[in-house]
Amino acid sequence: MSNKSSPSVVTYRQLQNDPETSATDAELLEPSIGQANAAAKRLSTLPQVSRTFTLSSFVPKDQDEKITQLKAASKELGTALNPSQKAPAPDDHAVVEVLQHAAKALSAAADHDEGAAADTARNVSAQLSRLASGDAGVRQKAEAAFVPPLVDDLKQLRESLAVQPITRQALPPDLVRDWVLPDGRARKTRGPRPRRPASYQGMAICIISIAQQATPKVGGDTAARMLLPFVPANFRVPKQGPRASFVDNGTPAT
């Protein structure tokens, strides 16, 4: 057994406890994307389920409002992000002046204050002062380390503000193929609430019930094989009647 305090085990536990990265998700196929969306909506109301996803989850909601806000931000930042004229790259003397000015500004901002923010400002100020008084070769290395990532970040910011409405038809074909088969069957996933063992059992029972009642030839058998370790030995899938609901301890509600 690995040491419970080792970085690998700690990281694994952190990933397992995060609903976005947990390996306990269950996946099923529905006959169509519409049925997958309906099933995902139904499952999302259960206390044992933390989230559900289908291909439709990649199409943002309230796009008109968000696009309006992004276009307003683009208008405000447009001149800074897309200048009509670009200044030439500064020489080393200009770089030293900027570093010294930034160091003085941070030192003044920190003043005699206490706390993490003030300490950080003073630390960065000292680092900038050392860089300004150091060798030109060191500043060139610093430029190579910091400037290219900044250029890439600014490029991504410009692209993120140049938005267009996202539709299912506009999604990348490879992504669509991961979620919808050529015959129309659609994939849906859902995950349990983190760090609640009863939720795994409750989610497993509920998914098997819904899958085998709705599409036994499509997803029920797969769900049973995948979730069997979480299901009580005496559980039986109801063949008819209303779909069961489940209380928070993972047992069918009466």
- 46's CB contacts (< 8 A; 6+ apart) are 202, 203, 206, 245, 246
Q: Tokens 């859902």 sit at which residue? A: 190
- The predicted pLDDT at position 239 comes to 46
Cα distance between residue 59 and residue 44, in whole Å: 17
* Mean pLDDT, each 10-residue run in order, the chain (254 residues): 76 73 70 87 77 86 86 85 83 93 93 88 93 93 92 88 85 90 81 53 56 45 45 46 36 37
- The predicted pLDDT at position 60 comes to 86
- 216's CB contacts (< 8 A; 6+ apart) are none
3-state DSSP assignment of residue 189: strand
As a residue count, the chain comes to: 254
- The predicted pLDDT at position 208 comes to 56
Cα distance between residue 92 and residue 101, in whole Å: 14
Sign, Cα dihedral of 193, 198, 204, 209 = negative
- The predicted pLDDT at position 217 comes to 39
Cα distance between residue 214 and residue 238, in whole Å: 11
> What pTM does this model have?
0.49
How many Cβ atoms from other residues are within 10 Å of residue 54's Cβ?
A: 24
Q: What angle do CA 71, 72, 77 make, to 5 degrees?
A: 95
19 bridge partner residues = none
Tokens of 189: 């996933």
- 64's CB contacts (< 8 A; 6+ apart) are none
| Neighbouring C-alpha atoms within 13 Å toward the C-beta of 105 | 6
